[in-house]
A and B are shown apart, each in its own frame.
Chain A
Amino acid sequence: MTGTTTGVRPAPVPAVARRGRLPYVPVLVLLGILVVAAATAGIAFGSVPLPPGQVWGILLHRLVPSLVDPAWPPVRETIVMDVRLPRVVLGGVVGAGLSVCGMALQAVVRNPLADPMLLGVSSGATVGAVLVLVVNVSLLGAFSLPVAAFAGALVALLLVYFLARTGGRMTTVRLVLSGVATGEVLSAVAGYLIVSSGDPRKTESALRWMLGGLAGITWDLVWIPAAAVLLGTGALLGVSRPLNLLLAGEEAAASLGLNVHRFRAALFVLVALLVGAIVAVSGSIGFVGLMMPHVVRLLVGADHRRALPAVALLGAAFMIAADLAARTLTAPEEIPIGILTALTGGPFFLWLMRRKAAR
């Protein structure tokens, strides 16, 4: 019997060595630098290359005109401010949003293999988008496409919600199955609409939308997903402790004071709305929401209080870089970004997994 241990004070634990993983603040700063670097590159490169110094000159001049003298042709300012910056901002927003959604969803269904595209919401958005692109349902001019996509996402959200929730309970298995089934049905609908259109140009535009892309974004639109992602990430940070409890399991979470079924349902709605708002402007971009949370857990651990801010930054940097590659690798043609995220993401993910297994 070792009753002696209780009387002994544990040695004070040094703050830095408290966790076995990398020190948190430096990692967060590094990720922040990564975002800034990716954004700078994203603005500098393109059909008209700009020196990075000039990029920052233009941005600073816009913020504080007295700080920098404009020594560049006005057209460059237009390129930076109206073409590339909104696209970089959107990339950051989409990447951060999908990544935090993926992390939250993985906790909600308690399965590290969950991806935001699993919810069925993105398929709903696809049906909405296809209706505009192929069937020419167009009520709101330039906003028709994102609005229809978001409406489709909402329909899918409601379907999945009511299929998954019975008698005040929402189990993880029902949530996943409802999401997958709804997604399959809606994908079939979208597929039928595309195939039956008979117009190759419409088919191509629909296919491109489905594979994801950030082209043609304007300031008029970018603020909506940006606000959604900002608010949504803030809300998720607020519930990061309950998110941790979900990892402990349903019963343990209940015994620690969480109303599991209500919390899970609320989180599903929050994440689905966020995914809807993101997919409506970017199409369904897979792999980011699955992969970024894994990378971040390897870096800073699974505690959501630490992992959520980190995953938002990493996701933003990754998506900005991926979009840069999508529009420069085969210029003037653009590669759908969903293809790039899957092509680069898959092997990277496998490498990480193998490395972890070997450790």
Chain B
Amino acid sequence: MRETGTPATLRAEKVSVVIGGRALVQDVTFQVGPGEVVALVGPNGAGKSTLLRTLYRALRPTSGRVLLDGEDVWRMPGRRLARRLAAVLQETPGEFDLTVYDVTAMGRTPYKRAFQGDDADDRRIIMDALESLDVADLAEAPFDRLSGGEKQRVLIARALAQGTGTMVLDEPTNHLDMRHQLDALQQVRRLGVTAIVALHDLNLAAAFGDRICVLNAGRVVATGPPAAVLTPALLEEVYRVTADVHSDPRTGIPQISVMPYGRSASPGADGRPPK
């Protein structure tokens, strides 16, 4: 199997982010244990991406600390953190004609000194990562020309190539079709790394998260196993939707069906929604 680092404990301690007088993240505390997968969910603007940015050192929290195995990530050199924690982001390389291989090879940067080339190990790690995301045959293709889903998979492959024990993933299933959504998350699970994954799809979050952490207006409003957290009451409060939660008979995983606005739980006598 692929070389990943030792899964670490990732902990946010009273993290707040204030930008332009607005508190985007307020007093957030949570912990992801070694090898645990936590799904971070919440409505648009809840502060999911902002919170994640403080974890991979793109945004310094206004107050509070981010700890990786007890060590403040904002006090360690960037390269050292990058060997232990990788991020899968929405941001993609622009119009520079990088190949898929080039983009994935960036994952090896934290291990390299100036003037040090890629050796056979690096090349194998890069190709393995591409292989496991099902994009190895695109290695020579220009990254720009890929479909949204293929790009997303290459960016996950780059995080794999980084060989870290911890991963932060911001909407890694965006643009992916159903099969590749499952594949991508399955891949992360199979690695056994510590992971925090921001997800929009609550059913995916329930299926893949050991625990779910719900963020609303910058605050953590619930944390716990999917079945305990994803209740109609919470969905009503956080998303302002009426939802039905039932347990999948085969897996026991909570399944959520959302009632469209203006429809009651039972349709009118003519089978059409009431006006």
Q: Contact between A5 and B102 (Cβ–Cβ < 8 Å)?
A: no
How many Å from the CB of B146 to the closest CB on chain A? Answer: 14
How many Å from the CB of B73 to the closest CB on chain A? Answer: 11
Question: How long is the Cα–Cα vector from A176 to B94 in the complex, in angstroms?
Answer: 17
Partner of B139, one of A13, A244, A247, A250: A13
Task: Give the chain A neighbours of B187 by CB distance below 8 A.
Answer: 6
Query: Of all chain B residues, which has the CB nearest A259?
Result: B78
B208 at the interface (CB under 8 A from A): no
Q: Which residues of B contact A (CB under 8 A)?
A: 1-2, 53, 56-58, 77-83, 85-87, 89, 91-99, 101-103, 105-107, 109-110, 112, 114-115, 117, 123, 127-128, 130-132, 134, 136, 139-141, 162, 168, 179, 182-183, 186-187, 190
Q: Contact between A20 and B141 (Cβ–Cβ < 8 Å)?
A: yes
Q: Contact between B186 and A3 (Cβ–Cβ < 8 Å)?
A: yes
A255 touching B123 in the complex, CB below 8 Å, given contacts A1-B183, A242-B109, A244-B109: no
Interface centre among B77, B98, B123, B186 (most CB of A within 10 A): B98
Task: Give the chain A neighbours of B132 by CB distance below 8 A.
Answer: 5-6
Q: Contact between A6 and B109 (Cβ–Cβ < 8 Å)?
A: no
Partner of A19, one of B79, B93, B101, B168: B101
Task: Give the chain B neighbours of A5 by CB distance below 8 A.
Answer: 131-132, 134
Query: Of all chain B residues, which has the CB nearest A249?
Result: B91
Q: Contact between A256 and B99 (Cβ–Cβ < 8 Å)?
A: no
Question: How long is the Cα–Cα vector from A64 to B91 in the complex, in angstroms?
Answer: 57
Task: Give the chain A neighbours of B186 by CB distance below 8 A.
Answer: 1, 3
Q: Contact between A258 and B91 (Cβ–Cβ < 8 Å)?
A: no
Interface centre among B1, B96, B103, B179 (most CB of A within 10 A): B96
Q: Contact between B78 and A257 (Cβ–Cβ < 8 Å)?
A: yes
Beyond A13-B127, A241-B106, A257-B81, list 4 extra A-B contacts (CB 8 Å): A247-B94, A254-B58, A256-B110, A302-B102
Q: Contact between A247 and B93 (Cβ–Cβ < 8 Å)?
A: yes
Q: Contact between A247 and B86 (Cβ–Cβ < 8 Å)?
A: no
Question: How long is the Cα–Cα vector from A302 to B103 in the complex, in angstroms?
Answer: 10
Question: How long is the Cα–Cα vector from A197 to B105 in the complex, in angstroms?
Answer: 57
How many Å from the CB of A297 to the closest CB on chain B? Answer: 5
A residues 228-242 near B (Cβ < 8 Å) are 237-239, 241-242
